[in-house]
Structure 1
Amino acid sequence: MVDSTEQLESLERWSHRLFILAGVFLLVAASNRGIAFFLENVAFNDWIGLAGLFGRLAALLGTGGLALQIEKRTVRLGKLNRTIASLAVVFTTGLLTLAILENVGVTTPIIAVFGIGTLVLSFVTFSLFGVSIIRTGAHSTLIGSLLLIVALLLLVVFIGQTVVPEGLIGTVIEGLLFVLYLTIGYRLQVEKVPSRRTESVADATP
């Protein structure tokens, strides 16, 4: 995400908040999609629908904050995680910008490129971080497993749209992501990050 260790540590400290924020955004997105799907006289609100992308962006930033502990164990793997997460953030930001422009009537074919790029890079980011965390023990195995589930859900919603109504599968998946993001955020909040324990011991040593 960023190069300096100080900034990475700052992002790491914000990770749990970013995941919780992502969960809130996904709850809003799921509610908007669900109400529009189940109530015939209520239309899907495109502006509120952007909450899903804001949630994705917050979750990717939160995931990027986990790279520091991975890098302390395996430098190359940590840098790879950071690079992929950075690309995912760039594409998601671009997609969000284009979606906002589309809502005000400015359309461009390139939005499809950013849409596919965001999906692929998000899937790779969550999968790579999940596997890396489980492999290195940088964070709890639970967090790594939940990130893998997030990646799987992205595939499910992409493939499922061809056989299940978009409104229904979108509501279910966004609702599940809401739970997953909140769980990850809460787990990170209560987790004792190794670097902090190390710093505390070092400070106490005369």
Structure 2
Amino acid sequence: MKSLERWSRTLFLLGGVVLVAYAVSLAAIGLMDMSSPRTIFGGAGFTLAFLGLFGLCSGLTDRSPQLAHAGSIFAVLGALGFTLAFVLGIAEFVGITSPAWVKVALLLNNVWTILGFLLVGITSLRTDAYPRSLGVLLFVPAVLFAANTTRIAFLGLWTPSWAPFLLGSLQAMTMLAIGYSLHDQSTPTEPAERPIDRTA
């Protein structure tokens, strides 16, 4: 886990780049009525982001072990869920029909994203293990997923047609911003600067 922490910045940046392609694919579908392998890009991009989130949790274990471990669980579930989405996207791209239960299971990715990023963001702000700007940025993916889930529930997947592209673009920019915020933060601050939160 510690070794993955060193890769968090790279993973978030790579995830952001892939999610740029995801946003473009959403624009192709929603705005230009073109076919596009959006699930492949989305699955790959968010898998990379969740691996980066898992790495960040290792920098929080000394400060708030229980919250950090809970965040790690959601990060792993998110990485597995979006890996499944990536595989499903490839299967659909080559013409293989996936079982209905697989698509239903993918709905849980909304839960892992909202709870995972919120929890790690809260833990980061409580412990000061990372810059406060990072803690705030970690809330953004959760808010965007919650907004998108609400939109789909009331309006439908592609209504309005520009919304998926906008939300996808914001997700991509957020992951890139998270990676950039880790530019000068190779390791968290020393634990001695703040007492360990044993009650968290």
Alignment TM class, shorter chain as reference: 0.7 to 0.9
CA contact (8 A) 2:40 2:85 kept: no
Runs of 5+ consecutive residues of structure 1 not aligned to the other structure: 1-7, 199-206
Residue identity (%): 26
**3-state secondary structure, aligned to 2:85:** helix
- By relative contact order (CA 8 Å, sep 6+), the higher-ranking structure is 2
1:15 to 5, 8, 24: 8
Q: CA deviation at 1:137?
A: 1.1
CA RMSD in angstroms, aligned pairs only: 1.9
State the alpha-carbon separation in 1 of the partners of residues 91 and 186 from structure 2: 42
Give the equivalent residue in structure 2 for 1:85: 75
How high is the TM-score relative to the length of structure 1?
0.83
**3-state secondary structure, aligned to 1:65:** helix
Q: Which amino acid aligns with 2:113?
A: S
Give the equivalent residue in structure 1 for 2:165: 171
1:134 to 125, 140, 161: 125
Structure 1 range deviating more: 89-98 or 180-189: 89-98
Q: CA deviation at 1:147?
A: 0.9
Structure 1 range deviating more: 117-126 or 100-109: 100-109
Structure 1 range deviating more: 183-192 or 12-21: 183-192
Q: CA deviation at 1:100?
A: 2.2
Q: CA deviation at 1:192?
A: 4.7
**3-state secondary structure, aligned to 1:184:** helix
**Equivalent residue runs for 1:1-206 within 5 Å:** 8-40=1-33, 43-46=34-37, 48-103=38-93, 104-161=95-152, 162-163=154-155, 165=159, 167-194=161-188
Q: Which amino acid aligns with 1:27?
A: V
**3-state secondary structure, aligned to 1:71:** coil
State the alpha-carbon separation in 1 of the partners of residues 46 and 85 from structure 2: 11
State the alpha-carbon separation in 1 of the partners of residues 47 and 19 from structure 2: 11
State the alpha-carbon separation in 1 of the partners of residues 122 and 182 from structure 2: 17
CA contact (8 A) 1:16 1:184 kept: yes
1:126-173 CA-to-partner distances (Å, cap 9, x unmatched) read 111111101111211111111111100011111112326264211001
Q: 1:39 to 1:97 in 2, by over 3 A?
A: closer
Runs of 5+ consecutive residues of structure 2 not aligned to the other structure: 192-200
**3-state secondary structure, aligned to 2:61:** helix
Give the equivalent residue in structure 2 for 1:4: none
State the alpha-carbon separation in 2 of the partners of residues 167 and 30 from structure 1: 13
**3-state secondary structure, aligned to 1:73:** coil
CA contact (8 A) 1:21 1:55 kept: yes
